[in-house]
Amino acid sequence: MTAETPHPAEGRRLGPIDRADFITVRLPFVAPFGTSIHTWSVKEALLLRLESGGVVGWGECVADPDPFYASETTTSAAHILRAFLLPCLAADQSLGELLHRIRPVRGNRMAKATLENALLDLLAKREEIPLHALLGFPARPIPSGISLGIQEAIPALLEGVEEAVAKGYHRVKMKIMKGKDVAWVAAVRERFPNLPLMADANGDYRLEDAEHLLKLDAFNLMMIEQPLSYTDIAQHAHLQRRMATPLCLDESIHDLDDALSAVELGACRIINIKQGRVGGLLESLRIASACAERGIHVWSGGMDETGIGRAFNIHLQTAPDFTLPGDTSETSRYFKEDIVAPPVTLDARGFIAVPPGPGIGVTVREDLLEKATLHRERVI
């Protein structure tokens, strides 16, 4: 797939959307998740439920209620969907035409991804095929990865890494921040000399910290994710020129053009594609393909999604251009009780099976959804 050629799914007719609902859910995390910016202890997500001819498609917005990871929030996404995106839906329209009609809406890619995801799930279910087949890829075992939040002290981090290794995760990401970086990475590396290991700073450093960050070159990390500001690309290019460790961009990449800029400037050698952050699965495939052509590895990040968003990330990773393990972990790591069945689990070799049913392949459990629901609003 190239940036110019439309994806075959874009040719599918949408048909009438009989009903659309926003459902805001709240699921407590089994443990708080800390990053350099913020610590989250519950997952609050905006879900979009579309109904057409008795078929239901689901989308999960990756925005949080707060703007601490990204500027979009559940409230801003609901507003953009309600006022600008959903009104573009028309029965006599292909998916491609709809995506073209919403192009004048700038930014707000989390809101856009929510609608795109729900429509793709709906289309696949209508055709009774799995989402990965609609995307054009056979199922394959998906490698697993885990993102360990900032801990109070090093022993707790080592414990977390040990558990992850025992479980069979294919790579471990540890969050770092100022004051919890070099010594923490050193401790993990000393205990696990051969572990595929990476660090994510969520933008905690500035280019003035380059000397300090260079110390991380000693630990054979797969990559350092988003060391500098969430708004920056150019300074990452300066840092990458000085560092041996590959840099990976997360927050700085909102779409294909950002990815192309970053690659052209040499700002990173790897990109974390969160499909919910870049406007959806089709934009993710365009980014992945453009990166593959340029020798840049990509992987699928996560936003601590419920089972709905997690399923989209799993289907996306059937695309062969996703060459590195992502942040896709077992459901039980996040939630005691999710809203879908079956939960994500690792097999004996640490892989995740793509759920085989139609669409996203997981079933929203009405009883669990009800329990988790904070708010419902019918929008169509």
Given the residues 43, 125, 175, 180, select the one marked as catalytic: 175
Regarding beta strands 39-52 and 297-300, do their DSSP bridges make them parallel or antiparallel, or are they unpaired?
unpaired
Candidate segments 107-115, 209-217, 283-291, 302-310, binder of ligand OSB by CB under 6 A: 302-310
CB of 94 to ligand OSB, least distance (A): 32
Which of 49, 98, 6 shows the shortest CA–CA distance to 373? Answer: 49
Catalytic residue among 43, 112, 173, 274: 274
Residue 329 near ligand OSB by CB under 6 A: yes
Site track 233-252 with ligand OSB (rule: CB under 6 A), x = hit: -----------------x--
Q: Measuring CA to CA, which residue among 255, 245, 299 is closest to residue 277?
A: 255
> Does residue 304 bind ligand OSB (CB under 6 A)?
yes
Give the C-alpha distances (Å, rounded to integers) separating 136 from 122, 131, 282, 315: 16, 9, 11, 10
Active site residue 274: yes
Q: Which of 64, 72, 232, 250 binds Mg ion (CB under 5 A)?
A: 250
Q: d(Cα 255, Cα 278) in Å, to the nearest integer? A: 5
| Minimum CB–partner distance for residue 127 and ligand OSB (Å) | 29
Binding of residue 200 to ligand OSB (CB under 6 A): yes
Considering beta carbons, is residue 69 or 137 the nearer one to ligand OSB? 69
52 phi and psi angles, rounded to 5 deg: -145, 115
Distance between CA atoms of residues 336 and 139, nearest Å: 27
302 near ligand OSB, rule: CB under 6 A: yes
Total site size for Mg ion, rule CB under 5 A: 3
Residue 329: which of Mg ion, ligand OSB, none does it interact with, CB under 5 to 8 A by kind? Answer: ligand OSB
Per-residue burial over 296-334, b if 16 or more Cβ lie within 10 Å, else e, is bbbbbbbbbbbbbbbbbbbbbbbbebbebbbbbbbbebb
305 touches Mg ion by CB under 5 A? no
Minimum Å gap between C-beta 289 and ligand OSB is: 22
Place of tokens 């009989």: 18
Task: List, in sequence order, every beta strand (DSSP E) within the chain.
Answer: 19-34, 39-52, 55-60, 142-143, 146-148, 172-175, 197-200, 224-225, 247-249, 270-273, 297-300, 340-341, 351-352, 363-364, 373-378
**Whole-angstrom Cα distance, residue 242 to residue 291?**
22
* Closer to ligand OSB by Cβ: residue 200 or 321: 200
Name 42's bridge partners: 28
Question: Which 188-247 residues touch Mg ion, going by CB under 5 A?
Answer: 200, 225
Residue 175 designated active-site: yes
Number of residues this chain uses to bind ligand OSB (CB under 6 A): 12
Closer to ligand OSB by Cβ: residue 143 or 302: 302
DSSP string, 247-272: EEESTT--SHHHHHHHHHHT--SEEE
Name the residue nearer to Mg ion (CB basis): 64 or 200.
200
Binding map of Mg ion across residues 74-113, x = CB under 5 A, - = no contact: ----------------------------------------
303 is a site residue for ligand OSB (CB under 6 A): yes
Closest CA to 243 of 272, 201, 295, 303: 201
* CB 197, min distance to Mg ion, A: 15
Show which residues are catalytic.
Answer: 175, 274
- State the residues that interact with Mg ion by CB under 5 A: 200, 225, 250
Contacts with ligand OSB, residue ranges (CB under 6 A): 35, 69, 147, 200, 202, 250, 301-304, 327, 329
